[in-house]
Homo-oligomer: A and B are copies of this chain.
């Protein structure tokens, strides 16, 4: 494994981790923009824009984009979150340059009015579909409640209203500002030739214009409000809990990940043994999400209406016991094994490496080997986890529920 980097005059970072033993390569653009960078007026524009990039450029149509990917056999995808929009592909080494050229081309889309108007319907349908998915809906609503007026509470998809009112002019303005070379990273992992990739990226991307792209970074402690909505068609109660976490820049992020596994991993966690194994809840999981300058623990619980009080009591007991007695040595050991296994296995593939490579650069402007992360996770102590519990008080949460009348 060899790490390489280069920064163009316009601010575009090109980074790569070369692994000549790999059978494939992965390539992607990490754009540092998402729903938290939107105003209420244009909420949803980042995600909408991600769709629009596949509609083609001044030179090639949507059909040709599709055919061009198809020819290479590449598996490609894109995703938009609160903080980042990413575009990536995994491909055999012999097609890497072709796919890289294609992504570079797509990063300067035509954003045609007719495509914009057509795609608006697709986005509206996606919003309607997710609203009909209570597990998703409850998390989005809880996020908004938790972050209150902080922009991290913005919904990724936007609302029917914000998308309905959005103009292509507003999207173009947002695009110019946020898809600036100094607000994105080009990353490549696996089996590739650094000089070849660099010359292709540099040859086209150095014409892109630098812009001012900033982000509001004030910390948010969370509202700790409680709310519930009723939906007559539901048969189960969906509950989301959110509490304050640490940021993607905070060295305690590994400690926070371990804590979330101990409390709410799919199997073998406190939630699992107290709620799922006892058949009180169908699902009860906790995740930790490190973000730019902030972070949050997010739990999702699904149970029958009659069990809601009991489930919430038990959750209260779990958090109380954690803050009073802390975690056990054995819990920490199991959690480390789970996280280390998942980490090593994910990073075995170039496409897995690409994600860590890109996000470490986006958040830390730092190259970290898998071994760096393994050491950091191995080094976490029981005392550090217990001290984090005292500092963050995960039992003091924002709560949103959706359930039957």
| Contact surface of A with B, Cβ cutoff 8 Å | 21-24, 66-67, 70-75, 90-92, 95, 267-268, 333-334, 336-342, 344-345, 347-351, 370
Query: In the complex, are the beta carbons of A24 and B66 less than 8 A apart?
Result: no
Q: Which residue of B lies closest to A269 (CB)?
A: B70
Q: Are B268 and A67 in contact (CB under 8 A)?
A: yes
Contact assessment for B342 and A73 in the assembled complex, using a CB-CB cutoff below 8 Å: yes
Give the Cβ gap from A200 to chain B, nearest Cβ, in Å.
20
Residue of B nearest to A336 (CB): B73
Tell me the interface secondary structure of chain A in the complex.
helix
Q: How far is the CB of A246 from chain B (nearest CB, A)?
A: 23
Find the B residue at minimum CB distance from A347. Answer: B23
CA distance A349 to B190 in the complex (A): 13
B-chain residues with CB within 8 Å of residue A70 when the two chains form the complex = 267-268, 334, 338
Q: Which residues of B contact A350 (CB under 8 A)?
A: 348
Protomer copies: 2
The contact sample of 16 A-B pairs, CB cut-off 8 A, is A23-B344, A23-B347, A23-B370, A24-B341, A66-B268, A67-B268, A70-B267, A70-B338, A71-B333, A74-B341, A75-B341, A75-B345, A92-B337, A92-B340, A92-B341, A92-B345
Please state if B66 and A345 are interface contacts (CB–CB under 8 Å): no
CB-based contact B268/A342 at 8 Å: no
Residue of B nearest to A350 (CB): B348
Which chain B residues border A92 with CB–CB below 8 Å? 337, 340-341, 344-345
Q: In the complex, A70 Cα to B330 Cα: how many Å?
A: 11
Candidate in A333, A341, A351, A370 with the most chain B CB atoms within 10 angstroms: A341
Determine whether the beta carbon of A22 is less than 8 Å from that of B267. Answer: no
C-alpha spacing A67/B349, complex, angstroms: 28
Nearest Cβ distance between residue A254 and chain B, in whole angstroms?
Answer: 15
Cα–Cα distance between A265 and B267 once the two chains are bound (Å): 36
Please indicate the chain B residues that have their CB under 8 angstroms from the CB of A66 in the complex.
Answer: 267-268
The interface residues of chain B lying within 8 Å CB-to-CB of A339 are 73
Do the beta carbons of B72 and A345 come within 8 Å of each other?
A: no
* Chain B residues with CB below 8 A from A340, complex form: 73, 92
Complex partner residue of A338 from B23, B73, B334, B344, CB under 8 angstroms:
B73
Residues of B within 8 A of A71 (CB): 333-334, 337
Q: When the two chains form their complex, are residues A337 and B73 in contact, meaning their CB atoms are under 8 A apart?
A: yes
Chain B's nearest CB lies how many Å from the CB of A151?
Answer: 35
Cα–Cα, bound, A21→B23 (Å): 12
- Measured between beta carbons, the chain B residues less than 8 angstroms from A74 are 341
Which residue of chain B has its CB nearest to the CB of A268?
Answer: B70
